[in-house]
Structure 1
Amino acid sequence: MSTWGGPVDVTLTGGRVVTPDGVLESGWLAVRDGRILAVGEGAPPDGPTTDVSGSWLVPGFVDIHCHGGGGEAFTNADPDRVRKAASAHRRHGTTTLLASLVSRPVPEMVEQIAKLAELTQDGLISGLHLEGPFLSAARCGAHDPAILRPPDRDSVTKLLAAGGGAVRMITLAPELEGAVDAVRLLVDNGVLAAVGHTDGTEAQIRPAIDAGASVATHLFNGMRPLHHREPGPIGALLDDERVTVELICDLVHLHPTAVRLAARHAGTGRTVLITDAIAAAGVGDGVYDVGGLEVRVVDGVPTLAGGGSLAGSTLTMDAAFRNAVTSCGLSVVEASQAASTRPAALLGLSAQTGELRAGLAADLVVLDAELRPRDVMSRGAWVKD
């Protein structure tokens, strides 16, 4: 498990620094008191320096859809187990993370939410994402279809109340009874409404977007396929400028061409890389429990034991970033915006993290020439094993 040292005062020099204004080819970044003091080229400010020549400096990754890692799932809300899961991803550069919960009966989810909400206060996690239980049984994926249900106002209100502001996003299927009203309720409470695990037609998706749904949960996966005579959710979500699209860039859930087409159409302002990781991330093959369903991981690919449906991923954000660049044709700057800047903005955290600029938290990843993490800094402290 990674541990936290204290914040360090240091200036990183000689690296290629990805800033909001472009890449500083031989730049420096000064860290003081846990924050970025300044970023520039030429002579660095006085103080201790560390040479990172040959490396990239990118903002710490922001994962808005992650179910666990390090052998632990966020459904196990014990603080030590949550810390182990979050630490597994932090070592791979994820400095900001939403804990995602899979579909369970509402009373059980209320209990999970209440426990996890307490852990948002120390920054271990930055909030909660509820993937269900308001999903389509026809596109349930690795969610127990027996648990899925329409989003009545009382249930949505109970889930939000349990978090006391910690619930940041809820995924639902717009074709379900009451779903559009639920979207309005979420938006009125400052919660992101996401469209996913849906069998809806384009005509059923559009009203949810008009009501305020602004995220496409793992676009392409868990939804009616795109067809030239019925665009369905993929066409509606990808084509609407109000919607940010999540992409699982593990090269299993999506072919590189699909990633490239979606990212090019949505652009940097609407594209987000996610992991959708389960407990197996950072651990390896084996048998795992996901929302009460048995999942087998073989060669790093999780599938339901009985049905063969993909059941999340074993992805980490550094691998998603690397895949986006090396296999899908995104530039390092574009991948950085999708892995850090855009998701931070989506969560309303742009004044705190997501970019390498003065005044923000010193959340950053030092990547080697092959885009693999060399070092990770979170709030000015080096993350160490």
Structure 2
Amino acid sequence: MANGDRKPALWINADIYAPDGIIKRGRILVDGEGRIGDVGGPDTVYGDDIPVFDAEGLKIVPGFIDVHVHGGNGFNAMEGTYEDLDGISRFHARHGTTSFLATTATASNERITKALEAAADAMRRGVSGAELLGIHLEGPFLNVKRSGAQSKDDIRPPDLGEIERFMRSAGQRIKLVTLAPEAEGGREAVRYFAERGVTVSAGHSDATYEQAAEAIAWGVSHTTHHFNGMSPLHHREPGLAGAGLTRPELTTELIADGIHVHPAAVKLLFDVKSPMNVCMITDAVACCGLPDGDYGRVVMTGGRIYLKDGSSLAGSSLTMLQALKNAMSFTGLPMERILPSLTRVPARQIRMDCRKGALEAGKDADFLILDQELNLISTFVAGREAYRSQESGTIIRKLK
């Protein structure tokens, strides 16, 4: 299929990773509207007038949904331009992401507002790679003690007036918000967002276990980059990290790069929470995909990104496809067990599971074609080929 086309097509002979299990030599029908028409086994019969592509020896998996990504390949959501958001969408589509939330950072009101307005505009216009589903407002309502790479000078308590202005600037497109619920005004902010259908995540927070439990009652249902930027687990004070591990109401984000979280702690989180309560993210920043070097406020060495003073990690150089491979290696779990953490869980957490996250009839035709070594062959977004590897032409045969 030519890049940019959205036409009916039938893919056959692939291992299809459907919600109920792997369909060997399966078939997936994509309609002309960018949705999945049907998913079936090798004996499923469809019409004769549909182009057929032979994916023998390949895997078709749901596209990855990244609800926490700041940038990549030199593009930055906080620049507040369409070009940056489109660049992020194209870069991450090359690494398995089919939809994402443009994620902000703590900054002045004016800079955040510009980023929100740009994201809302990009959603209206559409981007050329992974689909922009909405906005993740990370900050500025955080705890200075757990600020990490967030600007300490711009952290401030939640203010409902400012929150309402952010919501208007975003065109009501904020899907996820990270805040410190223990902050003064935290309860009112949590309730405000939750009542409007925004998923509220506790992050960059020094909440005690008891404060985290209170926040759950107010409407918190998610944690931001679990273990990072939060009160740690201690046997006499479990903190927010312990609350995320033990409270079933909380879904936990995870940066599985082996840098932010030790591989053993990655395994612990999957063992304790199960994949259906782990939400894999990249937390990728603008220098993700670029060579090691000095990028102004941050320095990247060996893929590790730190503030220039070395005081904190400052985002990641991770991609979603690499996160999948890392999680499989760290946990020993097969791909089909890990996949929900990159697909169904993020879709559920931002209330998009009616359209996204699984290969089943009626949902958007967002899928990846992988080879046996999990190299990415093609990325499809709503039935449109958003990325094609150089090897795709020799691997995938068009039968008619």
TM-score by length of 2: 0.91
| Cross-structure match for 2:149 | 142
Is the contact made by 1:260 and 1:330 (CA closer than 8 Å) also made in structure 2? no
Question: Residues 187-198 of structure 1: matches in 2 within 5 Å?
Answer: 187-198=194-205
Residue in structure 1 matched with residue 348 of structure 2 by the alignment: 345
Amino acid at match of 1:42: P
Report what 1:40 is aligned to.
Answer: 40
1:232 aligns with 2:277: no
The code of the aligned residue for 2:10 comes to T
- Which residue of 2 is the match for residue 31 of structure 1? 30
Corresponding residue number in structure 2 for 1:95:
98
- CA 1:176–1:4: 2 relative to 1, 3 Å: farther
Q: What's the secondary structure of 2:56's corresponding residue? A: coil
2:80/2:114 contact within 8 Å kept: no
Structure 1 spans left out of the alignment, 5+ residues: none
**What is the distance in 1 between the residues matched to 2:166 and 2:295?**
26
1:327 and 1:265 mapped to 2: Cα distance? 14
Secondary structure at 1:218 match in 2: coil
1:25 Cα offset (Å):
2.0
Distance 1:70 1:250 in 2: 18
SS in 2 for 1:13: strand
Q: Does residue 62 in structure 1 map to residue 65 in structure 2? A: yes
- The list of structure 1 runs, each at least 4 consecutive aligned residues, that deviate by more than 4 angstroms after superposition, is none
Aligned mate of 2:294, from 279, 287, 296: 287
Deviation at 1:4, TM superposition (A): 5.1
**Number of residues of Structure 1 aligned to a counterpart in Structure 2:** 379
The separation in 1 between residues aligned to 2:151 and 2:355, in whole angstroms, is 37
CA contact (8 A) 1:16 1:24 kept: yes
Whichever residue aligns with residue 258 of structure 1, its letter is A
Q: Distance in 2 between matches of 1:372 and 1:211?
A: 43
- The unaligned stretches of length 5 or more in structure 2 are 389-400
The CA distance in 1 between the partners of 2:369 and 2:237, in whole Å, is 44
Q: Displacement, 1:160?
A: 1.5
1:196-345 equivalences under 5 Å are 196-288=203-295, 294-345=297-348
TM-score, length basis structure 1: 0.95
- Give, as a single letter, the amino acid of the residue that structure 2 aligns with 1:82: L
Deviations 1:73-114 (A, max 9, x none): 001121122111111001111111000011002232122212
1:381 counterpart (368, 384, 391): 384
Offset, 1:255: 1.6
Residue of structure 2 aligned with 1:371, choices 356, 366, 374: 374
The letter of the residue matching 1:32 is: D
Tell me if 1:159 matches 2:166: yes
Aligned AA (2:42):
G
Could you say which residue in structure 2 is the equivalent of 1:107? 110
1:322 and 1:372 in contact (8 A); partners too: no
